[in-house]
Chains A and B, each alone.
Chain A
Amino acid sequence: MGIKQTFTSAILFTGLALNLATPQSVIAQDQTTANQDWSKIETKAQGQTVYWNAWGGSELINEYIAWVGKRVWDDNKITLKHVKVTDTADVVSRVLAEKTAGKDAEGSVDLVWINGENFASMKKNGLLFGPFSENLPNYPLVDIENKATTTMDFTIPVDGLEAPWGMAKFNFIYDSARVDQTPNSSAELLTWAKNNSGRFTYPSPPDYLGSTFLKQVLVESVDDHKILRQAVTDEAEFKKTTAALWDYLDQLHPALWRDGKQFPVSSSAQQQLLDDGEVDIHLSFNPGAASSLIKSGELAPSVRTFVFDKGTIGNTHFIAIPYNSSSKEAAMIVANFLMSPEAQARKQDPEYWGDDTVLSIAKLSAEDQKIFSAIELGVATLPPQDLGPTLLEPHPSWMERIEKEWLTRYGQ
């Protein structure tokens, strides 16, 4: 009896533990939808409407999404509607509200542009459909070997719950008319800032570019990167690992714009500061952004980009399907189309967007390879070989702790 009881509770305990680790109770039910024959998915997808919730802050990207809508309508008779959002967290919030209200089908979101913390949150709370991405016909073209972030999203395993869409790499945009010698590391950036007082700043965390800047400094200042791949375990370790970061910031801040007492509220605010001539260096996550912005007249033609020799932080952005979407088949078709060489090549072209592909060029047909090599990257875009190595994102818990600590130190 006693043994039996222990046994039962052990099972219960294991069950609970598993549950805590992956409370993805929905996954199992929906495997049938994801594992169907692709032709069956295509048939079912016809006539479905996909509400794609994606950041709507860029005219270029909005136009690209409209083009995708036209293409999937021509090919598959799928109606794609772009639901423009300012903050992906709003979408997480909406799906959460639907789950709270017990609306487990016919949800309002069919597709969401996502990565990082929002993905971690949706995955943890069982708000995602899948795994599906690895079953998509175009998935084998993805460069999972060299682009590690296509399978690990901010150190969180993707597990087929989101399909890679584009590559982001941290870089700096600067006005070449005002900066002669670009810094080559965080340390050199500090020296540059000291020599050019008031000409550099970064958006205050939790703005993602501001946070990424902190991560960049952190990763450069830590020797053993293994620590950063794991969750923060204890206070002493955190203090020890981040001491160099705080020391760096303490030195940097007095030399910043507004003496480091005020920070731009967002990355777009800093972009405006660059154009207004209030600062000379701006941050970006898209190596093609500067060229696109010159084209649209938002930045001066003298603007260029630079990266650090030893590498900068990089990640991947994805698209995912919420667990309660009613157009999962059509959503998968759209996700697959977005990974197609055609869609990826257009996305890489700064004329249309200028976002780096997730595909491995080597895996493409000769014809498709030609399309990619014909793309003109634009005056301010560095060629892929000059972008430097990609440094991996630390575990999200590091960022959370650093943002809090930043707030305590500099936020008041």
Chain B
Amino acid sequence: MADTVRTINSTISKQIRYHQAMKNHFGSILSVLFSLHTVPVLTLMVFLLPVLAGLTSTVLPAFGYLPVIGQISINTNAWGQLFAHPALPSALITSLSSGILATILSLIVSLSFVAAWQGTASFRKARRILAPILAIPHSALAIGLAFLIAPSGWIVRVFSPWATGWERPPDIAIIHDEWGISLVLGLMIKETPYLLLMILAALDQSQAKQRLKLAKTLGYHPIAAWVKGILPVIYKQIRLPIYAVLAFSLSVVDIALILGPTTPPTLSILVLRWFNDPDLNYRTIAAAGALLQLFVVICVIVTWWITEKAISRLSKRWLINGRRTFLEQPVRQVSKFSLNSIFLLFFGSLLVILLWSFTRRWRYPDFLPSVWSIQSWDRNIHNLLWSSSSTLIIGLISSFVAVVLVVVCLENEKRRGKTAGSGALWLVYLPLMIPQVSFLFGVQILTIKAGIDASWLAIIWSHLLFVLPYVFLSLTDPYRQHDDRYIKVALSMGISPARAFWRIRLPMLLRPLLFAFSIGFAVSVAQYLPTLFVGGGRFSTLTTEAVNLSASGNRRIIAVYALLQALLPLLCFIAALTLPNIVFRNRRALKEH
């Protein structure tokens, strides 16, 4: 039914557009359409090229072709060495188990929280905390968390030695545990808020309130109403974000380095290690490992997709069995408890970082630093200002370009009345699924060949590779769901498509646009390897400085950089949240509800 309406709508809109085009501005509209038409192709070109270059530079060495080190024969030696590597089996298992577990748990927590608490005061409170969590870079958060939960960490210090009797930190493995539990925890703190936000965005566009009301009038309890009445509808919209989370968890590097198991580490870290091995012969094994990782990610996503289908089929009868309750009390309690714990760990980590940045001496079992100091801020102020400005420039430009490209692609899609080309746009997600380190070598060679290495252009372009997928991810649904009838009304009043776009579509979508921009900015701020590889080491951003100094293991300095790393995206998010309210102060329906 809905499909029929959509087809009719799109036919009408096509006709309107046709008449418009025939009537006036024939030339200019044509040129707009033409340029809109070319941008998706351009976007793809901008991406396909490095993606292909990156892939080639991974695939060829994996099969033994790496002329610079004198290997020019095609063989499978690297694969043999890879599979014979003693650390591979357990690395693969921990990667898989921690990645999948983190995704499932984050999904369950976020879904059940929304199901249980939608429309309540605690729900609105939780919603406000989400953006800051997303803004904090993973590595900063992981460092804070590690200190919080370590055997010599803050939580133990609260109770030691008076309650525990531990004069010295207990010799137990909490972080870097072999099961990857702390890694899963670290991932969950970032992923639950992200999924929550994506669910919220989906809810806004699927008449969730009305559905919920209807189910409740039919006597369904809140959770049963949500799980049976809303979840099946919105799942389609949060599917891509879930896959992104899955891919991310399976290939994460920074959190895994700080919290993950060590003997052996996860697959992504093994690959990184091989790539960084001074013995260049390891390059071929690293390349094979990177391909294996890509393969693992694809397999897991496909398996997830199959499970999805199976669950949806198997649950059909259950959905309509008429039972009005579904684990109401347990879900309410457990979901609130888990989300609150996540928030608590998050704020604890943040606070502990703040304290460390003003610390000179802070030993176990002191609850607070014994000697305070501002030396960490003072000594780095020059560097901080310098790297903050380049972080800002790169982040603002790359996320702006990303938003423009994505909007043009989506607008083109809207006007042509089909989601054509979006099949190819899938390629945009590739950079998220291939281990960065394997992929960037090819990108680096490409920029050198193009003669643009170590330039602003190259560095913004390389950031765009990772910024664009996230902007695309967060903007696609709001954009596709935007009600076309507004535009049609405008067109029928004789307004040009371009004017309708500028005066109606963009203002109405201001909120998601700004939000996507902030996500893009946060992603750009967190980029380390692209800045390093493509920037030729000549650009220092807050993140490159932070990673460099974190090698010293000096928590004071790490804390200073982590805080600033968090501050910039946070400001961006705050601006994105408040700006629409100022712009729309006279537009009641567009204000935040």
Contacts and interface: CB of A to CB of B under 8 A. Distances in A.
Interface of A: 23, 51, 53, 55-59, 81, 83-94, 96-103, 108-109, 116-118, 120-121, 125, 198, 204, 206, 257-259, 261-263, 265-269, 271-273, 275-278, 296-298, 300, 400, 404, 407-408, 410-412
12 contacts: A55-B548, A86-B547, A87-B276, A90-B276, A100-B445, A103-B448, A198-B171, A262-B178, A272-B553, A277-B152, A277-B168, A412-B264
Interface of B: 67-70, 86-87, 89-90, 150-152, 168-169, 171-173, 176-178, 257, 262-264, 273, 275-280, 360-361, 363-364, 371, 373, 375, 379-380, 441, 444-445, 448-449, 453-454, 532-533, 536-538, 540, 544-545, 547-557
A83 B553 contact: no
Nearest to A84: B548
Given A278-B169, A411-B263, 16 more contacts: A56-B548, A56-B551, A58-B552, A84-B540, A93-B276, A97-B445, A97-B448, A100-B445, A121-B278, A198-B171, A261-B178, A265-B257, A271-B553, A277-B364, A410-B263, A412-B263
Contacts of B540: 84
| Smallest CB-CB A-B distances: 5 pairs | A268-B553, A57-B551, A117-B278, A276-B152, A108-B536
Given A57-B552, A297-B373, A411-B86, A93 B363 contact: no
A412 B90 contact: yes
B548 A86 contact: yes
A90 B454 CA distance: 15
Nearest to A119: B278
Contacts of A88: 278
- Identify which of B169, B364, B445, B537 gathers the most chain A CB atoms within 10 Å of its CB: B537
Given A57-B551, A84-B548, A97-B445, A278 B280 contact: no
A258 B544 contact: no
B273 A125 contact: no
Contacts of A92: 278, 280
B182 to A, nearest CB: 12
A98 B448 contact: yes
A262 B171 CA distance: 11
A55 B547 CA distance: 11
A272 B448 contact: no
Contacts of A408: 86
B537 A278 contact: no
A32 to B, nearest CB: 25
A268 B538 contact: no
A261 B363 contact: no
A127 to B, nearest CB: 9
B310 to A, nearest CB: 34
A182 to B, nearest CB: 19
Nearest to A403: B277
Contact of B537 (A89, A103, A108, A269): A108
- Identify which of B70, B152, B262 gathers the most chain A CB atoms within 10 Å of its CB: B262
Contacts of B554: 59, 268, 296, 298
Nearest to A91: B537
Contacts of A278: 151-152, 168-169, 171, 364
B152 A89 contact: no
Contact of A101 (B360, B448, B549): B448
Contacts of B444: 94, 97
Nearest to B453: A108
Given A108-B536, A297-B361, A266 B553 contact: yes
B280 A96 contact: yes
Contacts of B371: 297
Contacts of B557: 59
A265 B272 CA distance: 14
A85 B151 contact: no
B545 to A, nearest CB: 7
A96 B536 CA distance: 12
B61 to A, nearest CB: 11
A161 to B, nearest CB: 15
